[in-house]
A and B are shown apart, each in its own frame.
Chain A
């Protein structure tokens, strides 16, 4: 009896495995029914995600701050003092202020390059188990957003629109392992390919054997035909390490992105680049060091009484 039961469950298992393989094959062959299932899910999920974002955005960082508990004690005392001062000032919504600040930054960037953009709020991000770095925006095709449009934040490139529904869109972030973008070194014409690695740093592969790159060089998006998926001139990152391996055909390196992809709240989708390639106009200015104030004191004898 036990063997018969075991055989039956094995048969069921094998038939379900074959069904799964059949579904995978259909998807890989581009059957639209399966992709529309996912976009249908996105349409259904977007209102819930928007609602959840309203509740969760102030507390969403709680779990990432758990590691700072030890360091927080000294901070608490300092913050308590600051809190007293702040009470006398007008209480403003910090969350809204931060969003306003990012919006100002991204509009400055878009304005400099004369990109036609539409701003969006990040309402969710890709969950664990997907192994893909994505975010969900609260605007979609109703606002003119289409697949393969560039997404930017105040610092520079964020990613590219992967799919849209009427009221939401999914953006593939530039740190996704499948993300590739053609870049050029600002001030030079050397070109390369930037590859997402899943974490904060990116891998850079130069295309020419004669390319000369050095630490600190700024990389800009090379741009694509018809500005899709990438508009030209968007700051991508700064080279942090150059590999000098003997026998290497082309130079390789590591790059730090300009945008912190873990704390995105407001981004802009570039609808079109009105003025074409802005060249190096968007290269971020190097931070100016704060002047050190030196006070010279000449000792003088204390007057006798």
Chain B
């Protein structure tokens, strides 16, 4: 990732973090909740080159770890999002067409968000975190996937547009 792209990426993810913590948290969703931050991150990273994706994953994870309501140790989201970004940008992206259709974007975003939540829980459990009942976890992950799918027409185009904005003319 070019150094001049970094401030833009940090600013975008900081704004998104603020929206997630201050606005999205105010909404009582019907089933569990929705993490716009995670969904947006997945939609972003799938468009990125491997190196940029990994650095973005690390930065986005560090920002998410700042969440004051988080019970997990600092750095856990950094670990999860760095791993997810590499997985998406290398393995998943390689298996997909160069042009990502909206349906592919939606599927990848929803599945990757769910997988990231499961990974977060697993590593958290290994580190001694309490994870709650199976019904609670299922509802949380399924609820996030449901809202991720329903609200995808809002955040996927936004992620694509903002991703393009951060690229240089040559990279586009």
Please report A residues at the B interface, Cβ cutoff 8 Å. 5-6, 8-9, 12-13, 16-17, 19-24, 26-28, 34-35, 37-39, 41-42, 45, 48-49, 51-53, 56-57, 60-67, 124-132, 134, 136, 163, 170, 172, 176-178, 196-199, 262-263
Residues of A within 8 A of B107 (CB): none
Please report B residues at the A interface, Cβ cutoff 8 Å. 18, 20-30, 32-35, 37-38, 50-51, 54-55, 57-58, 61, 64-79, 82-83, 86, 90, 117, 120-121, 124, 127, 129-133, 135-137, 139-140, 143-144, 147
Residues of B within 8 A of A39 (CB): 68
Instruction: Assess the A197–B69 pair: CB atoms within 8 A.
Output: no
Bound-state CA distance A31–B71 (Å) is 15
Bound-state CA distance A12–B53 (Å) is 11
Say what secondary structure dominates the interface of chain B: helix
Bound-state CA distance A176–B75 (Å) is 21
Instruction: Assess the B26–A176 pair: CB atoms within 8 A.
Output: no
- Closest A residue to B86 by beta carbon equals A13
Residues of A within 8 A of B20 (CB): 127
Instruction: Assess the A198–B136 pair: CB atoms within 8 A.
Output: yes
Bound-state CA distance A106–B76 (Å) is 37
Instruction: Assess the A131–B132 pair: CB atoms within 8 A.
Output: yes
The verdict on A63 contacting B28 (CB below 8 Å), with A23-B75, A124-B22, A129-B35 known, is yes
The verdict on A49 contacting B30 (CB below 8 Å), with A8-B51, A128-B144 known, is no
Instruction: Assess the A129–B117 pair: CB atoms within 8 A.
Output: yes
Bound-state CA distance A42–B127 (Å) is 24
Residues of A within 8 A of B18 (CB): 45, 48
- Closest A residue to B21 by beta carbon equals A45
Apart from A27-B75, A126-B25, A172-B71, 4 more pairs, CB < 8 Å? A13-B86, A124-B25, A128-B34, A134-B71
Residues of A within 8 A of B74 (CB): 23-24, 26-27, 34-35, 37-38
Instruction: Assess the A126–B69 pair: CB atoms within 8 A.
Output: yes
Shortest CB–CB separation between residue A262 and chain B, in angstroms? 6
- Closest B residue to A47 by beta carbon equals B22
The verdict on A20 contacting B78 (CB below 8 Å), with A124-B22, A177-B136 known, is yes
Shortest CB–CB separation between residue A91 and chain B, in angstroms? 24
Bound-state CA distance A49–B72 (Å) is 22
